[in-house]
Chains A and B, each alone.
Chain A
């Protein structure tokens, strides 16, 4: 008798009783999700309270939408929304396509050693921690001992204190994330390109198609579904922008361009102790991210008939 047949036609309760140890196995995981992922969601109610740090949520006063009003009509709303959007835009325009180009280049290199070496070198920075990467950035850009300014000095230019100049922040942040993630993000595309049927290329060669033609007409169309999937997966993250690294890189002097919703929320909560306002702004951001992911998925369903769920 097969296992499947034993359960045929039985009620859920019976199935669970017969298989109780399977449910015991998943119990710790399920409890973990409840305690550390879903219970904090109840804590989102903080957004509607004037949070009392000593008495907790039960001892706080209900203020309705006051925290949201304070955030949306406050002086920092437009700034943080604009900065979040701008940083996300730079990420989409620069950091999203470059891994695709990189993957095509790596797979086109006919010298296997160079191809392998490039992959290894571009992949490496992803595994260096955010703190060390930001540390390298801060120290390289230091006005007195940073290598960038030392090179500038050699060519007779004055040192620039990059980290406090708002006009450089986006470029610094984008370059940094590019260095850290381009090779890592390229992996999925490389796997997709390697998986393309070689006969397509052979047929194209017979038809006299050159390299460019083959990349344009075979490689790119073949990896397009992967590109769309990756795009959808990244859209939600883009709104969240890497606050862990921005927190390390930004300074009051660069707030006009570097302060995004999550860093604002972090500052209001963890530094100013205004948990109500911080939760409200965080919730605002999470909802926008959710809407973006869902709509990007809808869009990709329409465009390519491939979606995440």
Chain B
């Protein structure tokens, strides 16, 4: 009741100038939305359209000659299933390893009684400002004989310092009294960690797992450098070959007619859609959890 009244008063108070400002802002919002989403929309409609009309520039806002053939071709592309399942493997086990290493370290660093805590924190933070770089990191993997192994991807990137710090700030917010009570009952650190802190910080764990999962799903650089066996390649490296380098069987020379249902370009667009669909499905969750994670990270830095 009070709120609606307030709103009415606010509306009456608004000057003409302010109303114009609001209208402009809202129109701007719609425009920004369209600009941001149009590239994805175009890829989507082009992937369902007949290539003749795509190449003609007729497909701009909606599909022409709707068909699924580009997707059929895309799914027949050599390597897409292998790389897709590899990425699922890397994401699932990668995130698992990420969480084991990150939560344990973050928990320890969140305890004020840790001897030389400041030094430990600096030890970790320093890697954010200075890292060895591409070549020494690569040679390090070679020294460990980890080249061309799945272990290199999963274990080599077990901790992301930024995500670990987010977890640490979460753990710091858990009231100390809970820990004290368990300690008096005779629980040791490992039990306090596993039975009190982990269940209490489920939202935080969800946020950070999601951060890690997005990272795992999207990363290509180190997989490209460390792995050269096609059977172990993740989706992103496959995508790089297909859609950036546009490596294909040379179907480009085929002359397109109005009846052709797919071309290299529309198949590429179909592959792009296939690659971002898992992302789009997860997006509502990401949006929900990501913001909370980000603001906490920004507060504690």
> Among B18, B236, B243, which residue has the most Cβ atoms of chain A within 10 A?
B243
Asked whether B129 lies within 8 Å of A131 as measured between CB atoms, the reply is: no
Chain B residues whose C-beta falls within 8 Å of the C-beta of A125 in the assembled complex: 36, 40
A154 to B57, CA, bound (A): 8
| Nearest-CB residue, chain B, relative to A2 | B180
> Among A41, A154, A244, which residue has the most Cβ atoms of chain B within 10 A?
A41
If over half of A's interface residues share one DSSP class (helix, strand or loop), that class is named, otherwise mixed; here it is: helix
Asked whether B100 lies within 8 Å of A37 as measured between CB atoms, the reply is: no
Chain A nearest CB: distance from B6 CB in Å? Answer: 11
Interface residue ranges of A98-132 to B (CB < 8 Å): 102, 105-106, 108-111, 114-115, 117-118, 120-125, 127-132
A120 to B243, CA, bound (A): 26
Residues of A in contact (CB 8 Å), total 101
Asked whether A115 lies within 8 Å of B29 as measured between CB atoms, the reply is: yes
Q: How extensive is the interface on chain B, given as a class?
A: 35 or more
Interface string of B123-165 (1 = CB under 8 A from A): 1110101111111111110011000000000001111000010
Asked whether A145 lies within 8 Å of B239 as measured between CB atoms, the reply is: no
Asked whether A132 lies within 8 Å of B272 as measured between CB atoms, the reply is: yes
A36 within 8 A of B: yes
Interface string of B279-301 (1 = CB under 8 A from A): 10001001100110011001001
A122 to B36, CA, bound (A): 6
Asked whether A40 lies within 8 Å of B139 as measured between CB atoms, the reply is: yes
Known: A7-B113, A29-B104. A44 touches B132 (CB 8 A): yes
| Nearest-CB residue, chain A, relative to B193 | A25
Interface string of A18-34 (1 = CB under 8 A from B): 01011111101110110
Chain B residues whose C-beta falls within 8 Å of the C-beta of A154 in the assembled complex: 57
Interface residue ranges of B1-33 to A (CB < 8 Å): 13, 15, 17-18, 21-22, 25-26, 28-30, 32-33
Known: A122-B36, A124-B37. A265 touches B135 (CB 8 A): yes
Asked whether B135 lies within 8 Å of A269 as measured between CB atoms, the reply is: yes
Chain A residues whose C-beta falls within 8 Å of the C-beta of B123 in the assembled complex: 30, 33
Asked whether A134 lies within 8 Å of B244 as measured between CB atoms, the reply is: yes
Asked whether B236 lies within 8 Å of A114 as measured between CB atoms, the reply is: no
**Of A72-80, A82-90, A252-260, A277-285, the one touching chain B:** A277-285
A286 within 8 A of B: yes
**Of B63-71, B200-208, B212-220, the one touching chain A:** B212-220
Known: A25-B108, A26-B120, A138-B243. A270 touches B133 (CB 8 A): no
A147 within 8 A of B: yes
Chain B nearest CB: distance from A196 CB in Å? Answer: 14
Interface residue ranges of A178-233 to B (CB < 8 Å): 179, 183, 187-188, 191, 205, 210-211, 226, 229, 233
Asked whether B135 lies within 8 Å of A275 as measured between CB atoms, the reply is: yes
A171 within 8 A of B: no
> B269's contact among A16, A39, A139, by CB below 8 Å, is which?
A139
A153 to B58, CA, bound (A): 12
Asked whether B105 lies within 8 Å of A26 as measured between CB atoms, the reply is: yes
A12 to B158, CA, bound (A): 29
Chain B residues whose C-beta falls within 8 Å of the C-beta of A279 in the assembled complex: 133, 135-136
Interface string of B21-55 (1 = CB under 8 A from A): 11001101110110011011011001000000011
Chain B residues whose C-beta falls within 8 Å of the C-beta of A286 in the assembled complex: 130-133
> A19's contact among B60, B113, B137, B156, by CB below 8 Å, is which?
B113
| Nearest-CB residue, chain B, relative to A40 | B132
Interface contacts beyond A26-B114, A124-B40, A139-B272: sample of 16 additional A-B pairs, CB < 8 Å, sorted by A: A24-B190, A28-B105, A32-B159, A43-B136, A46-B135, A46-B136, A110-B22, A121-B37, A129-B217, A131-B220, A139-B243, A153-B57, A211-B21, A275-B135, A275-B139, A279-B133
What are 22 of the A-B contact pairs (CB < 8 Å)? A12-B116, A19-B189, A26-B114, A28-B104, A29-B105, A43-B139, A118-B29, A122-B33, A135-B239, A138-B243, A139-B243, A179-B36, A210-B18, A226-B298, A229-B298, A248-B240, A265-B135, A269-B138, A270-B135, A278-B134, A279-B135, A286-B132
Instruction: Point out residues on A near B: beta carbons under 8 Å.
Output: 2-4, 7, 12, 15-16, 19, 21-26, 28-30, 32-33, 35-41, 43-44, 46, 56-57, 102, 105-106, 108-111, 114-115, 117-118, 120-125, 127-132, 134-136, 138-140, 142, 144-145, 147, 150-151, 153-154, 179, 183, 187-188, 191, 205, 210-211, 226, 229, 233, 236, 244, 247-248, 262, 265-266, 269-270, 275, 278-279, 282-283, 285-286, 289-290, 293-294, 308-309
